[in-house]
Amino acid sequence: MWFRLRDRRLAGFKFVRQESVGSYVADFCCREAKLIIEIDGSQHADNPRDTIRDTWLASQGYRVLRFWNAEAMTNTIGVLDTILAALPPSPRVRGEGRDDLVVGATSGSEGEGACPPEPHSLPPPHPRLPPRFGDDEVAEALSPRAGRGGDSG
């Protein structure tokens, strides 16, 4: 689950793990959305301490989502979709980032706040890495000599 939540991989929301909240420790926490995700084993079934804990966290403005270990392992996409549904609208702007943040997510480019589709263009190159081109024609067209006229080879 951490692999799917870390590095703002879930719609741009920052999650941290093993976050202290008061005297409790949350498995995963999105501070900006005040959302706590707990992945629990069977020892948490009907645990009165968890009820007290969840009540206190709610009094602090947090929402707690609990999932069984087995569900997180066998239905990861469903768990991520449930988490995504509990989050406010994404902080990402106009769909920036990877398309596969949540494979099963039903959201797309439609809906409230959607921008009209723009023509596809290549993302800007990474500022610290040199460009890599698969064919020489593209590399030649983008070389420093491109667009200077007269010099054909």
Domain ranges of the chain: 2-86
CATH for 2-86, options being 3.40.50.2300, 3.90.1640.10, 3.50.50.100, 3.40.960.10: 3.40.960.10
**How far apart are the C-alpha atoms of 29 and 32, rounded to whole Å?**
9
Query: CA angle, 147 as apex, 145 and 149 as ends, to 5°?
Result: 85
Q: How confident is the model at residue 100 (pLDDT cuts 50, 70, 90)?
A: very low
Residues in Cβ contact with 27 at an 8 Å cutoff, skipping those fewer than 6 apart: 17, 18, 36, 37, 38, 39
Written as six digits, the tokens of 122 are 């290549």
Q: Single out the residue of 84, 125, 86, 124 nearest to residue 108, CA to CA.
A: 84
Instruction: Return the pLDDT at 60.
Output: 95
Asked if 61 and 21 count as a contact pair (C-beta separation under 8 A), the reply is no
Instruction: Place 147 in a pLDDT band, splitting at 50, 70 and 90.
Output: very low
